Each structure stands twice: as structure tokens, then as C-alpha cells.
């Protein structure tokens, strides 16, 4: 049986600021992110299995990504916890806003690395994460490939 790649796409809105950056992105701003998650595996061949012919049920993949990423990052603001933004984060949190204090500068590159680890930890043993594509704007995106890592 052949390995097959399947992809599910997700959308979420997230704010961030890049502390110490020398451009506009040092200011708090947001993006309409598009995340494409591609996994690879062999379709189920057991004729008695309810998911016969599937690599993974799209609904199961959706549940993983929704719980690990979309539900946490959608309409949240992400700051690097090792910057003075923690003061702003505390004020926002005290006012009821969703804030994520990350161990990294919240660039698309670092976010996609974080997302890969979150997804890998939840995938069934027979399914591997093949790639992620995190699109920040219409013309800008970061990609993560298992083969590169």
C-alpha cells in the first residue's frame, strides 16, 4: 500500500508584537493566519474498520489542530515572555484578554516550529507530520517539513 499525504487547512486571527524588531512589526498588530497541516501515512486496509481507506479521519486531524492551536491562538495576542511585553501582557490578561507568553519571538518561523511539536505529540503512531505552512499575509508564509528536521 502506498503512503498518502492529506492536508487540512485552518484559519485563525492572532495578534503579536516583535520586541526589539527594527520595523513596523515591533508594534502590536494582528494577522489572519492560514495554517495548512499535511500528514502522511498508509490508508487503513482492514475491511472491518469503520475508517477503511482513510489515512486519518479529517475530523480527527481537525480535533487535534483545533485543540492544540486554533482554540489557543485564535483571537489571542502572543508575546515573547522574555521581553518587557510581559507588563503589557499582564495588563491585558487582567482586563480579560487572551494572551500567550511564548518561549520565543512570535515570528511565523518560530510559531510553525511550536505548532509542529504540538501536533506531533498528538498524532497516532502510524501517522507522521509531513509539513506545515503558516501563511501570515497573502504573500508571506513560513513552512516546516519533517524531512528538513
Is 136 known to be catalytic? yes
Residue in 75, 87, 91, 97 annotated catalytic: 75
Is 91 known to be catalytic? no
**pTM summary value:** 0.95
Domain ranges of the chain: 4-145
31-69 pLDDT tens trace: 999 999 999 999 999 999 999 999 999 999 999 999 999
Q: Class of 4-145 per CATH? A: alpha beta
For residue 143, what pLDDT is reported? 98
Is 125 known to be catalytic? no
90-132 pLDDT tens trace: 999 999 999 999 999 999 999 999 999 999 999 999 999 999 9
The answer to whether 49 is a known ligand-binding residue is no
- Cα 110 from Cα 51, distance rounded (Å): 34
- Cα 7 from Cα 9, distance rounded (Å): 7
- Cα 22 from Cα 12, distance rounded (Å): 26
Amino acid at each position: 500500500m502506498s503512503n498518502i499525504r492529506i492536508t487540512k487547512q485552518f484559519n485563525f486571527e492572532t495578534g503579536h508584537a516583535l520586541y526589539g524588531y527594527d520595523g513596523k512589526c515591533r508594534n502590536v498588530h494582528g494577522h489572519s493566519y492560514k495554517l495548512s497541516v499535511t500528514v502522511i501515512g498508509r490508508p487503513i486496509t482492514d475491511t472491518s474498520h469503520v475508517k477503511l481507506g482513510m489515512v486519518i479521519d479529517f475530523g480527527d486531524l481537525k480535533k487535534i489542530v483545533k485543540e492544540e492551536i486554533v482554540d489557543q491562538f485564535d483571537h489571542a495576542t502572543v508575546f515573547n515572555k522574555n521581553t518587557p511585553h510581559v507588563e503589557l501582557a499582564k495588563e491585558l490578561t487582567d482586563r480579560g484578554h487572551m494572551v500567550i507568553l511564548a518561549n520565543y519571538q512570535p515570528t511565523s518561523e518560530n510559531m510553525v516550529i511550536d505548532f509542529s511539536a504540538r501536533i506531533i505529540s498528538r498524532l497516532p503512531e502510524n501517522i507522521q507530520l509531513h509539513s506545515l505552512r503558516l501563511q501570515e499575509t497573502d504573500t508571506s508564509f513560513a513552512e516546516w517539513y519533517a524531512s528538513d528536521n
